[in-house]
């Protein structure tokens, strides 16, 4: 074998490959060539004629795939700590939203911010995730709610992916809330939001389309119109579904072959069956569940029994989950939703990749993208066990050792 690539040796590998718990290799090695993994296997079985350009002895450290946060709202202006205080005094999420707070207050702050201000604040948030081993994340729009401002937010998200050592997927979420200028005219707003998609796609700003289908969001019929417009352009869809009520959104999304349905506290058996058939990922968001002090759990056991893939994400946003730790979400998924530590880690690796339509990552295997994290830990269950602690030692993203985030 010719002299090429970087070799990472003597690691405890949680490859997340199917067939064995964690895809475990007790003393494994990784060969990186370019931005891909060229060889993954037991250290003792490394090819004898291998002559790497660089060699790293990890001395038994844990290595996992790079973490993937497949649901964030990272680009926005302002903050909503006052609403947090009101909620603690008894005001409900819907009451705050209907009084003009909630999403619309963030919309006003986002529209008032400059592009550079939006980038600087979003980049700081992204770096917090990167420091914990995140190599891919999704950023949704949804705080502009006009043609100009939605495109601004998506452009900021694209810039994050260009200027940071991080893969960023951009999702158009114009159907997030009804802006003040369209008060009483939700169908007119949906018409407008549908018309913006072609321009966003032509400008290279959008990878997928999302909507909020719920009592304070949009109806199933309006959501269906957004999805039809997206798919006419060849854009995949996903949905904020069944968070506050059962609107049948998951079944609707599944009929459109959605990548994921997200939240799902009120998911019905009908929705689960539809997601099973379509292969749609169930994206659970324990941070929002915790922050809003919800009491209805997503139907985890029914999802398991149906074989629906389950992902976990931060849902970072200013109103219902201002968390900046994907590792904390692992712990919450276990403690609040009773997921196993392995299920939780699969939820931020292989299943999160599936939720973004990115089959080239989320596992450690030849020909996949060389995204991985090195941890000061002996076993991957420790990543869900501890919280308030960051054991991430090093991160390789696209084959390149990343400097400290």
Are 292 and 381 members of one domain? no
Are 183 and 140 members of one domain? yes
pTM above 0.75, yes or no: yes
Cα 75 to its chain centre, rounded Å, is 14
Detail the DSSP E strand segments found in 86-163. Answer: 134-140
Query: Which one of 336, 355, 374 terminates a domain?
Result: 355
Instruction: For residue 112, give the DSSP letter.
Output: H
Cα 294 to its chain centre, rounded Å, is 21
Are 59 and 74 members of one domain? no
pLDDT of residue 403: 84
pLDDT tens profile 316-329:
999 999 999 999 99
Are 274 and 350 members of one domain? yes
The β-bridge partners of 29 are: 41
Number of C-beta neighbours around residue 143 at 10 A: 31
Per DSSP, the residues of 263-323 read: E-TT--HHHHHHHHHHT-EEEE-HHHHHHTT--PPP-HHHHHHHT--EEE---BBTTTB--
Are 256 and 310 members of one domain? yes
Torsion, Cα 128 391 382 73, to 10 degrees, reads 10
Let me know if residue 1 belongs to a domain: no
Are 25 and 110 members of one domain? no
In angstroms, the CA 329 to CA 153 distance is 25
Are 386 and 301 members of one domain? no
**What is the share, in percent, of the chain residues with pLDDT greater than 90?**
91
Contact 144, 73 (CB under 8 A): no
pLDDT per residue, tens digit, the chain (405 aa), is 455 799 999 999 999 999 999 999 999 999 999 999 999 999 999 988 888 999 999 999 999 999 999 999 999 999 999 888 888 888 876 777 766 678 899 999 999 999 999 999 999 999 999 999 999 999 999 999 999 999 999 999 999 999 999 999 999 999 999 999 999 999 999 999 999 999 999 999 999 999 999 998 999 999 999 999 999 999 999 999 999 999 999 999 999 999 999 999 999 999 999 999 999 999 999 999 999 999 999 999 999 999 999 999 999 999 999 999 999 999 999 999 999 999 999 999 999 999 999 999 999 999 999 999 999 999 999 999 999 999 999 999 999 999 864
pLDDT tens profile 31-70:
999 999 999 999 999 988 888 999 999 999 999 999 999 9
Are 134 and 282 members of one domain? yes
For residue 131, the enclosing domain spans 67-355
Cα 195 to its chain centre, rounded Å, is 26
CATH number for 73: 3.20.20.140
Question: Nearest to residue 298, comparing CAs of 317, 326, 327, 275?
Answer: 275
CATH number for 50: 2.30.40.10
Number of alpha helices (DSSP H) and beta strands (DSSP E) in the chain? 15, 16
């Amino acid at each position: 074998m010719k002299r090429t690539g970087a070799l990472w040796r003597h690691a405890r590998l949680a490859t997340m490959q199917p067939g064995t718990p964690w895809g475990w290799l007790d003393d494994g090695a990784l060969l990186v060539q370019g931005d891909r993994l060229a060889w993954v296997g037991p250290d003792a079985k490394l090819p004898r004629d291998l002559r790497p350009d660089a060699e790293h002895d990890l001395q038994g450290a844990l290595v996992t795939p790079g973490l993937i946060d497949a649901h964030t709202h990272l680009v926005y202006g302002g903050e909503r700590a006052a609403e947090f205080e009101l909620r603690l005094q008894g005001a409900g999420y819907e009451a705050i939203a209907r009084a003009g707070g909630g999403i619309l207050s963030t919309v006003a702050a986002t529209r008032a911010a400059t592009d550079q201000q939006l980038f600087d604040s979003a980049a700081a948030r992204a770096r917090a995730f990167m420091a914990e081993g995140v190599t891919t994340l999704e950023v949704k729009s949804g705080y502009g709610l006009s043609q100009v401002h939605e495109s601004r937010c998506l452009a900021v998200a694209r810039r994050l992916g260009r200027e940071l050592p991080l893969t960023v997927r951009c999702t158009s979420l114009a159907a997030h809330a009804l802006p003040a200028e369209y008060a009483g005219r939700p169908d007119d707003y949906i018409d407008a939001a549908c018309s913006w998609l072609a321009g966003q796609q032509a400008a290279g700003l959008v990878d997928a389309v999302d909507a909020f289908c719920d009592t304070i969001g949009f109806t199933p019929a309006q959501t269906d119109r957004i999805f039809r417009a997206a798919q006419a352009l060849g854009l995949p869809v996903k949905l904020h579904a069944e968070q506050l009520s059962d609107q049948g959104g998951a079944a609707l999304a599944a009929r459109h072959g959605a990548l994921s349905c997200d939240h799902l506290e009120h998911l019905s058996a009908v929705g689960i069956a539809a997601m099973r058939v379509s292969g749609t990922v169930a994206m659970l968001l324990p941070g929002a569940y915790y922050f809003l002090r919800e009491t209805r759990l997503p139907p985890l056991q029914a999802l398991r029994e149906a074989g629906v893939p389950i992902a976990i994400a931060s849902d970072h946003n200013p109103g219902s989950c201002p968390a900046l730790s994907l590792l904390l979400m692992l712990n919450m998924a276990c403690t609040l939703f009773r997921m196993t530590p392995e299920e939780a880690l699969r939820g931020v690796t292989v299943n999160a990749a599936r939720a973004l339509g990115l089959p080239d990552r989320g596992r450690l295997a030849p020909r996949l993208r060389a995204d991985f994290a090195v941890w000061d830990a002996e076993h991957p269950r420790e990543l869900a066990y501890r919280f308030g602690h960051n054991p991430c030692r090093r991160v390789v993203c696209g084959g390149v050792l990343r400097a400290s985030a």
